[in-house]
Structure 1
Amino acid sequence: MAGNGPAPQKDAIRRNKKPEFTQLIEDGSVHGPDLPEGVLPDGQQWHPVTRQWWENWRSSPQATRMLSAPDWDYLLDTALIHHNMWMNGRWDFASEVRLRVAKFGATPDDRNRLRAEIVTVPEVSEGLDTDVIQMSPYKNRRGRLLSEE
């Protein structure tokens, strides 16, 4: 089986260099183009699984690093293979799709190999008055202690 060897450990440390991971921030926005229409032979429509796969990539944190048209062109070529795999049951294409999406960091091992980690930003919720610590008693006590000196 072809591959690049084992993925590096996330906490692996060399004496001369610490590993640096790129943080991919999940921002919730959609990047890249829609799947183009009219590119499949005989007027076929994209397979529903391929449509969902494409939308998952567009909204993924990895998409924030796909800044140029060639990145999306390469993923579109992969989508054509993915479509053929699902439409015609050509599971022998699965290994090619796996190798291609690994370049974008599809799995945790792929991201570890690329030294990339996904960071999810927690949503800020409305705070309740009971969640806020009232600082005035502490300020008053501090003032009293400082004035006694």
Structure 2
Amino acid sequence: MAGNGSAPKDPNRRARRNKDVAPVRYITPARVVTQPDLPEFEVEIRPKDGEPDMVPFNWPDATRGWWDMLQHHPLVNEFFDTDWAYLLDTALIHASFWKGNLNLAGELRLREAKYGFTPEDRAKLRIFSAAAVEGESKAVLGAAKVSSARDRYGSTKRLEA
């Protein structure tokens, strides 16, 4: 028996239509922005029993590797100056995390999510790999060609036991 339940609501009477609130704006950068180097600077160390002293900040190897990895980010050619400034601040959080401040893990995760660092983050940002999309469309086309079990298993031979 078809049609269990009430009839669907008229689309014109729906409360939500899930349309985009604002149209998409496409902009071009005012200039080409390249990835800056990690800066060299000094930090103040305050010993308990002496005068404060300025010492050079040492970037952890993990943070240097993280920063180098950004040059291969799929959107790197679209980064603005503000993106690199935000990522430099994130590098400091990354360095503090790798120096043992585990309280910064949540902030680091949130900042990396804004740039699609994990597959889940990229899906939320609607960033998809062209290779994955191409592979999926090939799989769909391949599945559409198969119309029967005979087509799927036609080349297999039965072995007698």
User: 2:98 matched to 1:86?
Assistant: yes
User: 2:111 matched to 1:108?
Assistant: no
Q: Please say if residues 61 and 118 of structure 1, whose CA atoms lie closer than 8 Å, have aligned partners that are also in contact.
A: no
In the alignment, structure 2 segments of 5+ residues that lack a partner are: 1-16, 21-33, 45-54, 132-161
Deviations 1:76-125 (A, max 9, x none): 001001101112x11111110000010111111111111112336xxxxx
| CA deviation after TM superposition for structure 1 residue 40, in Å | 5.0
1:59 matched residue in structure 2 = 72
| CA deviation after TM superposition for structure 1 residue 45, in Å | 1.5
Structure with greater Cα Rg: 2
Deviations 1:35-64 (A, max 9, x none): 111265520221100000011112221322
TM-score, normalised by the number of residues in structure 2: 0.51
User: 2:99 matched to 1:96?
Assistant: no
With a CA cutoff of 8 Å and minimum separation of 6, indicate the structure with the bigger relative contact order.
1
Secondary structure at the residue paired with 1:34?
A: coil
Count of aligned positions? 92
For 1:1-149, what aligned pairs fall within 5 Å after superposition? Answer: 31-38=34-41, 40-41=43-44, 42-66=55-79, 68-87=80-99, 89-119=100-130
Q: Please say if residues 116 and 122 of structure 2, whose CA atoms lie closer than 8 Å, have aligned partners that are also in contact.
A: yes
Give the whole-Å Cα distance in 1 for the aligned partners of 2:72 and 2:18.
37
| CA deviation after TM superposition for structure 1 residue 65, in Å | 2.5
TM-score, normalised by the number of residues in structure 1: 0.55
Letter in structure 1 aligned against 2:130: V
In the alignment, structure 1 segments of 5+ residues that lack a partner are: 1-13, 18-30, 121-149
Identity %: 42
Q: Please say if residues 62 and 105 of structure 1, whose CA atoms lie closer than 8 Å, have aligned partners that are also in contact.
A: no
Distance change in 2, residues 1:39/1:63 (3 Å): farther
Q: Please say if residues 85 and 91 of structure 1, whose CA atoms lie closer than 8 Å, have aligned partners that are also in contact.
A: yes
